[in-house]
Amino acid sequence: MIIIRRTDTKQRILNESLKLFSEFGYEAVGVEMIAAAVKVTPPSLYKHFSGKKEIVEAISDMVEELYEEHSLSVAELDDIDIEQMDEDAFVNYLMPFVENVLHDKTLKSIKKLLTIEQFRNERMRLMYLEKCYEIPEQHTRHLVERLVKLRNPKRDVDIDYMTNVLTHPATNVINKCYCDPTYEKKGLNFLREHLHQFWIFYFD
C-alpha cells in the first residue's frame, strides 16, 4: 500500500473539498468556497494545490488508500490459511470488509459525489467505475483465484463469473444501505447468507 503523506492543512483541504463537492456538486464549488471552509485564503490554498482538478486527483488517491485499508487483504493470508479455511471462516473474513466500507464516511461522501457527477463529467464517470466497481472486483478476484487454486483446483470454474457472483450482491447491499440506512440489518443478513451459499456451492 502506498501511503501519501499530507500536511494537516492539505488534509483539511481534501476533507472540506469532498464535503462541499458531495453536497453541491463539483462545478458549483469554487476555490474561494473551499478556502473559506478550510479557513485559509485562496492564495494559501494554491500553495498546496494548483486548483480543483488537482484536489480531485488527490481525493481519488485518498479513496484508493481507504479501499486498500479496508480491502480483503488477500496478501495477508498465506496458503495454509486458505487451505484450512472453512465456511464460517470465509464468511467472517469477508463481512467486516463490507461493514467497514459501509460505515466509512469518506467513502460514502465520494460515492455520493461520483453518483451525481458521473452523468455530467466524463472524468467522474470513469472514476466512479474504477472506485466503486473495478477496485472491489480486483480484490475479490484475487481471493477467488487463490481459493480455487488451493481448495478446488480440479473443478472447472469461471473465475470472472465467480467474482461477479461474490462482488455484485455486496455492492448492491452497500448502495441500498447508503440510500436507506434502515435496510442495513436486513441487507447484511442477506449478504451473510449469500456468502454461506457461495461457499457451499463451490467449496463444500
End-to-end CA distance of the chain: 33
Number of domains forming the structure of the chain: 2
**Residues 137, 189 within the same domain:** yes
Q: What is the DSSP string of 5-24?
A: ---HHHHHHHHHHHHHHHHH
For residue 202, name the pLDDT band (cuts at 50, 70, 90). very high
Instruction: Please report whether residue 63 resides in a domain.
Output: no
**Residues 96, 145 within the same domain:** yes
Mean local confidence (pLDDT), 125-142: 89
Range of the domain at 38: 1-58
Instruction: Please report whether residue 64 resides in a domain.
Output: no
Mean local confidence (pLDDT), 175-194: 96
**Residues 48, 139 within the same domain:** no
**Residues 171, 76 within the same domain:** yes
For residue 166, name the pLDDT band (cuts at 50, 70, 90). very high
Q: Closest Cα partner for 147 from 112, 114, 195, 97?
A: 195
Dihedral of the CA atoms 73, 74, 75, 77 (nearest 10)? 100
CA gap 45, 64 in Å, rounded? 23
**Residues 24, 44 within the same domain:** yes
CB 25 within 8 A of CB 116: yes
- Of 58, 79, 97, which closes a domain? 58
